[in-house]
Structures are given as C-alpha cells and as structure tokens.
Amino acid sequence: MTSSPTSTPDSVPPKADSAASGGAWRPGVDPVGRRQFVRLPGSLPLERGSSLPDVTVAYETWGRLDSRAENAVLVLHALTGDSHAAGAAAPGHPTGGWWDGLIGPGLALDTDRLHIVVPNVLGGCQGTTGPASDGPDGRPWGGRWPEITIADQVTVEAALADAIGIRRWTAVIGGSMGGMRGLEWAVGRPDRVGQVIVLACGATATAEQIGLYDAQVRAIIGDPGWHGGDYHGRPWDDVPHGGMGLARRMAQISYRSETELEDRFAARLRSDGQFEVTSYLDHHARKLSRRFDAGSYVTLTRAMMTQDLGRGRGGVPAALRSCPVPFTVVGVDTDRLYPLRLQQDIAQLTSVPLHRLRSRSGHDGFLIETKQVGDIVRHALRVP
C-alpha cells in the first residue's frame, strides 16, 4: 500500500492550480501553444478487441512539407514526452523541447529541408485522446479507458499521416517508447517508411522491465487518490500524486546510471538531514506530477509491458529479418533499463552495425547526448 498523497511532498498543489487536472492538458482551459489537432472520426479498433470512438491527435510541426510530400520525418516521443520536441517552455508547454538540439535550421533534423511532425501519443495527456479526455458521454474516460498497445498507437499515427497528406515518411525516429513505435512502423507498415532510426529500446519487453513497470503501476493504482482511475475533477489532495511520485522515483533511478548517481550524490546529506539523492528524486516526482496525468502514466506503462514486435508475426527474429526497411540502431553504453544487448539483437537481425552513445547518464543518454545523436541522424539522413 502506498502512502496517502497528503503525507508526501508531491501533494502540495502548484500555485496556479488548486483544482485537479491530474497534470493533463485541458482543451478550452489551457493554452493551445503550438499544438495542431486532427480528429479521426469513427471508431478505432484496438488490438485487444475493444474500440475507441472519435480519437483526437495533437501534434506539432517544424519546417514545410514539399510539393510532393516527400520530405516528412516522424519523430516519436518517449513515455512522459509530448509533441513539444523543440522550442522554449511557453504557455501551454510547461517544459522546453525534449530534443531541442536536434530540430531546427541547419541542425540534424534540418527544418530548412525537412518537415518534422511530432504527435502526442494515443493514451497521452497533452492533447491526444487518453484517460483524462472526455468520453462520448462528456465525462473523462478515467477507469473506463481500454487497454492499448504499441500497435494501437501506431495505428493512430498512421491515421494522422493520412489526414495531413503524408503517404510515406522519409524517416521515422524515436527513442525508448518512441523507438518501440518506430519498430512497429517499420515492420507493420514498411511501405510507408523510408528508413527507421531507433534508440534505446528493445523489440520485446523483458522480465526485468515488466517487473519494474508493474511496481510503478501498482504504486499509482494503490494510492487512495486513484479512485479506480476516476479521480479527474477531484481536489488536488484527492488525486494520486503520492503514488505517481513513487512511480517516478523508481523510474528515475532506472533512467540514470549507477556511476552518475554515485558521482553526483554518493551518500551525502543536506543540511536538513535528507540524502542528496532523495532530494533529487523528490524534485523529479513533484515536477512530473504537475505536468503528467497518472492515468496516462498507467496506460502507457502497460503498453510498454505488453510490447512484443513478434506477436502475430512468427516471433521477433522472423519479423525483423523479413523487414525491408533500412535500420539505424542506437544504444547507450550505460543504459541499464534497455541495455545494449537489446539493441545489439535488433542490429544483428536487421544486418546493420550498432551505434553506441557514450554517456554517463544511462537510459536518458538518448535525450541528453544530442551532439552524438545528431551526428548519427545526420549520417543516416545524409544531411551535410
């Protein structure tokens, strides 16, 4: 049983919001920012057998689509990312771009020659339909939200591409959960992908990843503020921020390397008697609970738990060996959440070399080492 949110620092409401939004962006309440929207009419069939009506996708773009729609690149975010991959924090965008050093004029994803599209993922909480979104009856989906998979997320991204007139992507690029979707694009829709660049992910969830993710999900759904997923609209102190904070603390440890944490914090104490590393984890827990919905965290984490590129395709080796799409595979040498052996497996099955990012930052290295990532992307896209 997790502690009550009222007993944790994560329960302190942000100054500008004393009512519960659960961290989700709210249409008609929060600024739109750079978001654009596409509504996908009709019912979306899901891999597990249920369906979703009238899905809305939020996305952002950089650069211009050429007259033949042949210069589009799809960039896919990780678990707690969103469509705001480049640019400063601004109204509607609580954080700056998560790949700001890669997207722009003259950068690896050169907006003078490429049209960059970054959608918020299905099940997310920053404009695309997810658990915090209103269902057909006008109430938030909450606990009624269905189970979704990585394949369902890609189905929505393909429908977005159709809606904005992009038949084939020059490249699909993603790291971590975004890399999982990149793999699914390449194997499931090879005729729509010129090449794929995947970073810091595997082709199927491992037992360790499933165990770690399950512990995070249990921390959230065991919080008294979870209310079966139906907490949207409740006061700030009756929302599962305590469980969300515990989940984020577990995740943050797995995102960084043991060496980095030891070098930065060791067993040092602050003047208030708190361990420095504990203060660091508290900071990340508070920060995420203010910008991300717990229901989205649960549904996206469960999607990663069920990731299996070989499902229905005769297994991972058969799926990857038969894929005609050119691959670029990138791993982080200190990643303990998605260790290099997982990227090595993908590289071997697709007959390409493995690119290694040198980083002390662990899994987050794919977000932090933008110079190294940029060099690899430039080479793959043949950007001078």
Residues ≥6 apart with Cβ < 8 Å to 141: 130, 131, 132, 133, 134, 135, 295
Contact status, residue 199 vs residue 331, Cβ threshold 8 Å: yes
Contact status, residue 298 vs residue 220, Cβ threshold 8 Å: yes
Q: Where are the beta strands (DSSP E) in the chain?
A: 36-45, 51-62, 72-76, 103-104, 109-110, 115-119, 171-175, 196-199, 327-332, 354-357
Contact status, residue 127 vs residue 296, Cβ threshold 8 Å: no
Catalytic residue among 115, 232, 241, 363: 363
Nearest-10 Cα torsion for 183, 162, 68, 63 = -70
- The answer to whether 363 is a known catalytic residue is yes
Q: Which residues of 288-322 are buried (b: 16+ CB within 10 A; e: fewer)?
A: bbbbbbbbbbbbbbbbbbbbbbebebeebeebbee
Q: How far apart are CA 171 and CA 174, in angstroms?
A: 10
State the first-to-last Cα distance of the chain, in angstroms, to the nearest integer.
55
Task: Give the bridge partners for 19, in sequence order.
Answer: 235
CB 268: neighbour CB atoms within 10 A?
A: 9
Residue 13 corresponds to which amino acid?
A: P
Catalytic residue among 11, 133, 176, 254: 176
Q: How far apart are CA 384 and CA 372, in angstroms?
A: 15
Positive or negative, the Cα torsion across 213, 214, 219, 220?
A: positive
Catalytic residue among 152, 335, 345, 364: 335
Q: How far is CA 155 from the centre of its chain?
A: 16
- The answer to whether 176 is a known catalytic residue is yes
Report residue 176 as tokens. Answer: 């971590």
Q: How far is CA 368 from the centre of its chain?
A: 15
Contact status, residue 20 vs residue 234, Cβ threshold 8 Å: yes
Residue with tokens 């793959």: 380
Q: How far apart are CA 249 and CA 2, in angstroms?
A: 13
Catalytic residues: 176, 335, 363
